[in-house]
Chains A and B, each alone.
Chain A
């Protein structure tokens, strides 16, 4: 008898509505994904727990090489700098450093991380509005590139001159109108209003600062490559102006990041995988603009790119399990997962692709996916079509490599392990699962609060 038993699936029934799609109308999320780089999802969960983040080194390197090829075949001098804030687990950073990336950091903490990873000071770009005096002194003496965000920072560098062993190698961050909304005018100096030129003038008159480049970062998740063409043109104009006015050739133009990944933004009708421009499209827009700007061959600046999201997002997976199913008061199906917005921060702005990790039959159900937190905002997907999942069934959340492993919160639950699957399909833990001790060790208990009676 046992041998003839059939695969069980939860019974489901739903109304046929006009406009309600059957399996022919639903997304590809229906296809199960049972393995990641040759490792069974079930095995990974057994070994490292559930939930667990998994990164594919193969995908990271392949994506990086694709981006590198797209730019290097179009422009003679290209340098990538790994955006630490996107994912600064050291093993991940070092994969990028092995591929030749510099480090791009936006805080003293990230700067320290880059140093600890062994990145030479000259290959660290220090961005962001918050650089303390001590951090600036350290980074300047270390030969790093300082991207000045505001006038107070510019003056601070002037003031700390006595403590500097060398001239500061600086660039300014420029913001501008590229025809996209919102314009990121809170960072850097405005181009159209003349602030940028003004800041350049101030630096050029200063003896302890050496203006070596220009930096911009026009936005995030930019789906229109043409905006980069506008930005690259304006940056080139600025650089050519410096040449004209001060007879000074700038070493580089840093176009920042902001390339979109294959995630689907909430409210987007088009699937992210179809909407995201390729590296070739971004590279074409940027390279063409700089090459046509009027630089002599000798003066062509090094093109620096700080792409983060588009290089790592697709290499990341979150594996998790079903805690429970319930039916909401209005009849909708709800499924509670063992991961929530605490570790999947990006579910606030993406409709993440989520697939079951075991094979299923033909039917599916519209479901709300909740996380495990005791918080009403803990919603992973407001509406997703999935096969009938039961307790302990496993799922794979796709395209989670960017920002989750840095923006995750230690809130209510501890953060899970992160596993990197190497080029030979061997998994390595690159960040341990947190324990109560990892949180407790930073706390202090005043003596008078140690005792209590209930």
Chain B
């Protein structure tokens, strides 16, 4: 029987050394047993490798940068939709999510484009600056943290935090500090790069483990695969990782998705201490770049997300293969200049 074809717009085609999840998501979708896909790549830069992967991406359009605002994004999507009849869009960048979340209703009602993303409340509540409160609210251990706005607050931290502790930026960066002097230096370094506020976080020693998971928006955990990084790049990204059997991590994902009614993909970054305690470090509100490992373990999360986006009810995955590894590799494609010219001049390829 011929499968139906779904037209899916996918962002995050930057399969570079610090990769976006777009290409792995597309690979997962192409392996769907439920439907065929036409993949419309949505790029921000002319050098995103996915643009030139013609066996994975059927056509690519450039999008305005997220900072251009929702009006510009909507106008561009309108144009793309007129050419491609999009059924689903899967945004994969943190920076663009705010806009897609805000536009989700308009995209559905005006164009019947389905975007399966968290609500704005879910998205905002898990921001780094709110995570400690978030954990308290949902009964999940988060390293004690405090948001500060001024370097003078660093001097009064000694009563609340023991050294070492971590100084974190609003969006990125974290420095472990062992003295007040180091803390002051770290405060200035991060504040100059990412602005205020600065987050002070208790340092929890242990092994970093991650979960990629999917929620249906009703409180059901549709799928979850825990992974331990085996080898990381100098940017801290997983170069290889292995699926592990860890019920406590699954329970944490389940609890979180149940109590927040999370809608869409997410990644939990967790520290597992020597005495088997689990602390949530971060929630990324989208699939991670290693989401294809879940497919390899028998849970095709992107496929399930598309089915839910199209309004289907999806039964939760019951199991996954433990001990499956992913090993990332890089690959030099040969690209003709005229392709670069087309995406640069016309914004399409």
Check A-B contact in the complex, CB < 8 A: yes
* Interface residues, chain A, with chain B CB atoms under 8 Å away: 16, 18-19, 21-28, 181-182, 267, 269-271, 273-274
13 A–B contacts from the bound complex (CB under 8 Å): A18-B46, A21-B44, A21-B65, A23-B347, A24-B61, A24-B64, A27-B67, A28-B68, A181-B149, A182-B149, A269-B95, A270-B67, A274-B69
Q: A24-B347, A26-B72 are in contact. List 9 more A-B contacts (CB 8 A).
A: A18-B46, A21-B65, A25-B64, A27-B69, A28-B68, A181-B149, A269-B66, A270-B67, A274-B98
Q: Are B46 and A24 in contact (CB under 8 A)?
A: no
Q: Are B345 and A22 in contact (CB under 8 A)?
A: yes
> Nearest-CB distance from B333 to chain A (Å)?
15
The A-B contact count (CB < 8 A) is: 68
Q: Are A26 and B149 in contact (CB under 8 A)?
A: no
Could you say which of B45, B67, B345 contacts A269, with CB atoms under 8 Å apart? B67
Q: Are B76 and A24 in contact (CB under 8 A)?
A: yes
| A18 closest partner in B (C-beta) | B47
Using known A-B contacts A181-B149, A271-B67, determine if residue A28 contacts B99 with beta carbons closer than 8 Å: no
B297 interface hit (Cβ, 8 Å): no
Q: Are B70 and A274 in contact (CB under 8 A)?
A: yes
B174 interface hit (Cβ, 8 Å): no
Bound state CA distance, A267 and B62, in angstroms?
A: 24
> Nearest-CB distance from B195 to chain A (Å)?
7
A interface majority secondary structure: loop
Interface size on B, residues (CB 8 A): 29
Chain B residues 62 to 97 lying within 8 A of chain A, measured CB to CB, are 62-72, 75-76, 95
| B148 closest partner in A (C-beta) | A181
Q: Are B69 and A181 in contact (CB under 8 A)?
A: no
- CB neighbours of B345 from chain A (8 A): 22
- CB neighbours of B196 from chain A (8 A): 181
* 0 or 1 for each of B193-207: is its CB under 8 Å from A? (1 = yes): 001110000000000
Q: Are A27 and B46 in contact (CB under 8 A)?
A: no
Q: Are A25 and B102 in contact (CB under 8 A)?
A: no
- CB neighbours of B197 from chain A (8 A): 181
| B343 closest partner in A (C-beta) | A22
Q: Are A27 and B99 in contact (CB under 8 A)?
A: no
Q: Are A16 and B68 in contact (CB under 8 A)?
A: no
> Nearest-CB distance from A311 to chain B (Å)?
22
Residue among B44, B68, B75, B149 facing the most chain A CB atoms (10 A cut-off) = B68
B273 interface hit (Cβ, 8 Å): no
Q: Are B45 and A26 in contact (CB under 8 A)?
A: no
B18 interface hit (Cβ, 8 Å): no
Q: Are B69 and A267 in contact (CB under 8 A)?
A: no
Question: Can you list the 5 inter-chain pairs with the closest CB atoms, starting with the nearest?
Answer: A271-B69, A24-B347, A181-B149, A24-B62, A18-B47
Bound state CA distance, A26 and B64, in angstroms?
A: 6
Q: Are B45 and A19 in contact (CB under 8 A)?
A: yes
B230 interface hit (Cβ, 8 Å): no
Bound state CA distance, A196 and B91, in angstroms?
A: 49
| A183 closest partner in B (C-beta) | B149
Bound state CA distance, A19 and B67, in angstroms?
A: 13
Bound state CA distance, A238 and B75, in angstroms?
A: 49
| A28 closest partner in B (C-beta) | B72
> Nearest-CB distance from A112 to chain B (Å)?
39
Using known A-B contacts A27-B68, A28-B71, determine if residue A274 contacts B47 with beta carbons closer than 8 Å: no
B344 interface hit (Cβ, 8 Å): yes
* 0 or 1 for each of B320-349: is its CB under 8 Å from A? (1 = yes): 000000000000000000000000110100
Using known A-B contacts A19-B45, A25-B65, A182-B149, determine if residue A267 contacts B95 with beta carbons closer than 8 Å: no
